[in-house]
Amino acid sequence: MQDHRSFQKSVTVKVRDLRRAIGANIHNLRLHRGLTLEKLSKRSGLTPDTIDRLEMGKGEIGLYHIMCLSVGLGIAPGILLPRPLNIPDGAVS
């Protein structure tokens, strides 16, 4: 059985990896759409600095950011999430 500290460290690593993966998706989609940070900023309502920080996987990314970016990129919010989500078989019915 994992102790609390070990579990917390494991979750922290997974969250950091998830932030980086979402950031890479934001970056790749922005470039694919031919958008600069400034253009995506105007379309999403987020500052260029915030978008840049999120693309680098730094800081916290919340639902607000995901929703703003999905509008700015013209995509469904779930597209920003990495694939696969590693959901165990039978966990979703």
Q: Check if the beta carbon of residue 28 is closer than 8 Å to that of residue 71.
A: no
CA distance 75 to 78: 8
> Is residue 87 a part of any domain in this protein?
no
The range of the structural domain enclosing residue 49 comes to: 13-80
- Look at residue 86 and tell me if it is in a domain: no
Number of structural domains in the chain: 1
The reported pLDDT for the residue numbered 93 is 47
Domain contains 53 = yes
Is residue 20, in this structure, part of any structural domain at all?
A: yes
What Rg, from alpha-carbon coordinates, does the chain have?
15
Report the chain's mean pLDDT, rounded to a whole number. Answer: 88
Does residue 15 have a pLDDT over 50? yes
| 89 inside domain | no
The answer, yes or no, to whether residue 89 has pLDDT greater than 70, is no
CATH number of the domain where residue 76 is located: 1.10.260.40
The two structure tokens encoding residue 47: 């500052």
What pTM value is reported for the model? Answer: 0.80
Please report whether residue 43 resides in a domain.
yes
